[in-house]
Amino acid sequence: MNKIRLRYSKTGKAKYVSHLDLMATMRRALTRSGIELEYSQGFNPHPYLSVALPLPVGSESVCELMDFGTAAVLLPDGLPELISPVLPEGLCILDAYLPERKFSDIVWVEVHGTLHYEKGAPQRASQLLTELFSADSIVISKKTKRGVSDVDIAPYIKEIEFSQGDAVSVSARLSAQDPSVSPDNLLSAIGKAEGLPSPDLVLFTRMEVYSREQMVFM
């Protein structure tokens, strides 16, 4: 099987597309582009499509990765220009290439977010959050395969910074897998900041994914 990796963005209205709907959308787009996909064998054959880190509904990303298999040898050159025009608004192919590493080699993910408050960012908000995330232990309730349990996420936050204007901006590099730390987990921790109200609107964008060596994962 010939395998191609796509790097794509998912922004705007597309951020509300669920993972399952995204897979169906990408399959249709590849087919409309004239690409002959590789299918599994058996009574219920399905095309080989694999997404690196499924994106939560409501989050944007400019660094999504998807592998797909083709029935015939296909070169990645020109695929972004071929596929993007048949994708819905908010989805855009940024690059296409032959993969060299497995998705399991992704270790870190960089996210940027903004915390919006109806009456403007509270005074000292960024300072309070910086102090909170400087603690040696940050315990939150986190959903796992075994249910909900208390988890210390501090060891899985490589770096995090806050800045303040009309809103509070956050930039963080988080563990991507085994275990993963999500923007929702950060919000759970932010809710523990004493003297700081909950934000009225939160927007997060996944900016980049990295290997264990801190190299951009391709």
Relative to beta strand 49-51, strand 2-10 is unpaired
Give the closest residue to 76 by CA, choosing from 50, 96, 49.
Answer: 96
Q: Are 204 and 113 in contact (CB under 8 A)?
A: yes
Q: Give the span between the Cα atoms of 95 and 153, in whole angstroms.
A: 33
Q: How far apart, in whole angstroms, are the C-alpha atoms of residue 205 and residue 218?
A: 18
Count the helices and strands in the chain (H runs, E runs). Answer: 4, 10
User: CA 84, 85, 88, 94: dihedral to nearest 10 degrees?
Assistant: 20
pLDDT tens digits along 108-133: 999 999 999 988 888 889 999 999 99
Cα–Cα distances in angstroms (integers) from residue 109 to residues 62, 151, 166, 189, in the given order: 12, 19, 26, 18
Would you give per-residue pLDDT tens digits along the chain (218 residues)? Answer: 789 999 999 999 999 999 999 999 999 999 999 999 988 887 888 889 999 999 989 999 999 999 999 988 888 999 999 999 999 999 999 999 999 899 999 999 999 999 999 888 888 899 999 999 999 999 988 877 777 888 899 999 999 999 998 999 999 999 999 899 999 999 999 988 888 888 999 999 999 999 999 999 99
Q: Where in the chain is the domain with CATH 3.30.70.580?
A: 2-100
What is the reported pLDDT for 42? 78
Residues 6 or more apart in contact with residue 34 via CB below 8 angstroms: 82
Q: Hey, what CATH class is 104-211 in? A: alpha beta
Which pLDDT score is estimated for 14? 95
Q: Which CATH architecture has domain 2-100?
A: 2-Layer Sandwich (3.30)
What pTM was estimated for this model as a whole?
0.90
